[in-house]
Structure 1
Amino acid sequence: RCHHSFLKFWLHSQFWMTFVQDGVDGKQARRTNSSTPLGELFDHGLDSWACIFFVATVYSIFGRGESGVGVVTLYYILWVVLFSFILSHWEKYNTGILFLPWGYDISQVTISLVYLVTSVVGVEKWYQPVLWHLLYRDLFTFMIIACSFTVTLPMSLYNVLKAHRSNTLKHSSLYEAFLPFLSPFLLFIVSTAWVVFSPSNILEQQPRIFYLMVGTAFANVTCKLIVCQMSNTRCQPLSWLLLPMAAVVLFAVTGIVASETQLLYLWTAAVILAHIHYGVSVVRAHTLRPSEFPFIQRKRHCVRRREEVYAGV
């Protein structure tokens, strides 16, 4: 019990430090005139990958028992979080401005408090009803869904509509405006098909690996969207990663591959390696061939010009 309490307190402290540093890194970069699109890509790209770990670790406190959270329910909750994350970047893709909603801060503070309370009272506290038959897991789930659909989504739609009315919207076509949602939507369809039609109920057997696979594939799609929004280029309709994934799911649900678990492990490793390779390739291309990244030069010019405005030049 003492060991578990220390672990939860350590998680609380590390999570809180992560939250604080994630909030001040951009301010520090702008203050020191070291802000670059590459830094922005790393910042938000790693945030998109961290979504899976935030969701999985905090819900592990509630467990999978009678008062816990089912793996299928957690899968859909994960997608609510992923949807909330990509909304902000879809908004910037259309408006050119990134507005981070209050829902993100609320969720981070809440998760940190959950770790802190758990380190003091233990996980058993969360198994007790809050009021009548309402459990803490239900309250937490309601908070995530409510923040997404009453805070994040309305604010993104409002900002896009505001840009449309002021004629500052970057994409006038409805198809072009919603194009960034195509790959995430297809990823949701393909991964959900695996969950629903899995012969061995793969999500029950390997929930953490499945979440990791979905979260990493989503992070890869999001990073490409971030690059497009920074370079003012058109978002690609289809991520190439979805094509082999569709084949993998087909092999899994039809029983062509004998071991579905081994297939999941191999595909998860492939997705992780592909995502890391993409990140390394972007960094190497920026380092070795900076002329191919003209948007970086424009961004640096904007940063210098902003500093001149602040200085009264």
Structure 2
Amino acid sequence: MDNPRHDPYLSKESLDNLRFYRYSAVDKSPITKYVLRHWWDHAATYFPTWMAPNLITLSGLSFVLINVACIGLYESDLKTPGPTWLYLSFALGLFLYQTFDNVDGRQARKTGTSSALGHVFDHGIDTLNCPLGGLVQVASLGLGHSVNGAFFILIGCVPMWLSTWEEYYTGTLYLGYINGPTEGILIAVGVHLISALFGPRIWHTTVDLSAFVPLVSHPLTLIECFNVIVLIAVFVVHAPVCFMNVHAACKSKSLSFTSAISQNLSFAIYMGLCWLWITSPYSSLLSSTRGSVPPHGGLIEFTLLVVCTFGRMLPRVIIAHLTHGPFPTLLPSVIFPILGGVFIVSLNQFGW
């Protein structure tokens, strides 16, 4: 008897398309080519053949989850300096996550278990790490439950979404000469190590760049400089490449580039609602809000909500790519939790 519940991504035709699965990726990073690739090849030799690639992927995420648990125990306000070992564990956990994330593919090829399921699982884990890794970064920078902290929690989702959208059309995961999974993670590891050596307050010191950058008329904190670097990396370096590659793919396949761009609207709505909730003067997510519960703010809890919703949203695009299905629309299970938060804080404007 047929299942009355019908999901177009699980239809027989979609499942049949999995037979054509071929993993395709390009990584032009010199650091990957000349340094990390050799480390990952060596690390892969330590994993027994009975260990499933997906188990390696999940084990990598567990290091980040341990970091998040330590934040809850030792630095729940995301601001008070923690012990030195805490930031060292952040650096080690993220580096091990990167290592395991690259070893799993080698394990799959070694054991002959490469599959579309492994592709979805691997990229799905990467999706979860975007907000979680951002939260760990917030703690390491000592940003607290602030708008700047929320920025770091959400910003990692942008390149992940754009790369997955790009892969949907091109069929290839393209990683440029400077990319998030390599250089981005190494920079984050460096931030954790600096925080371990000097404490998070080092990032709140000011520097005068007016002699080098005439447009900057006043001293900036290191965090403000870091914000600018992240924005340039995402929207000036990464995003244009994604759009150019999708444009070329649409042109070669006689597809509408305008239609392809419009498919980013669902993600824009999702991010916009998240930002409205965070920045609302009636929101209790930030530590500056009077009477917030918990008193230090709720960015940790908000991060877990983003993990659940973004982790539900993006893998559907991956599945659509693997099964040659239509680009997915915004799910109620993704939008309603965020929309509900915006609605509740908006009620305060009317005295409710």
1:135 aligned partner: 221
Gaps of 5+ in 1: 260-313
Matched, 1:110 2:203: no
> SS at the partner of 1:109?
helix
2:160 aligned partner: 85
Aligned residues: 252
Mapping of residues 142-153 of structure 1, within 5 Å:
142-153=228-239
The amino acid across from 2:183 in the alignment is: I
> SS at the partner of 2:286?
helix
Q: Is the 8 A contact 2:127 2:160 kept in 1?
A: yes
Distance 1:149 1:106 in 2: 16
2:314 aligned partner: 222
Gaps of 5+ in 2: 1-80, 210-218, 288-296
1:158 aligned partner: 244
Q: How far did residue 87 of structure 1 move? A: 0.5
- Report which stretch shifted further, 124-133 or 8-17: 124-133
Distance 2:165 2:309 in 1: 17
1:62 aligned partner: 141
Matched, 1:249 2:332: no
Structure 1 residues 121 and 183: CA distance shift in structure 2, 3 A: same
Matched, 1:22 2:101: yes
Structure 1 residues 30 and 177: CA distance shift in structure 2, 3 A: farther
Matched, 1:44 2:119: no
Q: How far did residue 138 of structure 1 move? A: 1.7
Distance 2:337 2:85 in 1: 43
Matched, 1:7 2:78: no
> SS at the partner of 2:325?
coil
The amino acid across from 2:156 in the alignment is: V
Distance 1:86 1:9 in 2: 29
Write out the 4+ residue segments of structure 1 that deviate beyond 3 Å after TM superposition: 76-79, 200-204
Q: 1:141-192 CA distances to partner (integer Å, 9 max, x unpaired)?
A: 1221111123211221222233234x1x4x7134542354232222123223
The amino acid across from 1:181 in the alignment is: N
Distance 1:46 1:120 in 2: 30
Distance 2:166 2:321 in 1: 10
TM-score using structure 2 length:
0.63
Structure 1 residues 246 and 186: CA distance shift in structure 2, 3 A: same
1:288 aligned partner: none
1:298 aligned partner: none
Q: Is the 8 A contact 1:12 1:113 kept in 2?
A: yes
Q: 1:102-137 CA distances to partner (integer Å, 9 max, x unpaired)?
A: 320221001111222222333343333344633221
The amino acid across from 1:163 in the alignment is: A
Q: Is the 8 A contact 1:182 1:237 kept in 2?
A: no
2:72 aligned partner: none
> SS at the partner of 1:223?
helix
Mapping of residues 203-242 of structure 1, within 5 Å:
203-204=286-287, 205-241=297-333, 242=335
Q: How far did residue 251 of structure 1 move? A: 3.5
The amino acid across from 1:74 in the alignment is: G
More helix by share: 1
Structure 1 residues 91 and 232: CA distance shift in structure 2, 3 A: same
2:174 aligned partner: 99
Mapping of residues 185-204 of structure 1, within 5 Å:
185-197=268-280, 199-204=282-287
Q: 1:191-212 CA distances to partner (integer Å, 9 max, x unpaired)?
A: 2332344524433331221233
Matched, 1:32 2:32: no
2:64 aligned partner: none
Q: Is the 8 A contact 1:91 1:160 kept in 2?
A: yes
Distance 1:253 1:198 in 2: 9
Structure 1 residues 73 and 7: CA distance shift in structure 2, 3 A: closer
Distance 1:56 1:236 in 2: 28
The amino acid across from 2:137 in the alignment is: V
Q: Is the 8 A contact 1:8 1:118 kept in 2?
A: yes
Distance 1:112 1:145 in 2: 19
Q: 1:223-282 CA distances to partner (integer Å, 9 max, x unpaired)?
A: 1111111111002222122145434532342149x99xxxxxxxxxxxxxxxxxxxxxxx
Structure 1 residues 164 and 113: CA distance shift in structure 2, 3 A: same
Q: Is the 8 A contact 2:133 2:153 kept in 1?
A: no
Structure 1 residues 28 and 155: CA distance shift in structure 2, 3 A: farther
Q: Is the 8 A contact 1:11 1:115 kept in 2?
A: yes
> RMSD over aligned Cα, in angstroms?
3.0
The amino acid across from 1:95 in the alignment is: T
TM-score using structure 1 length:
0.70
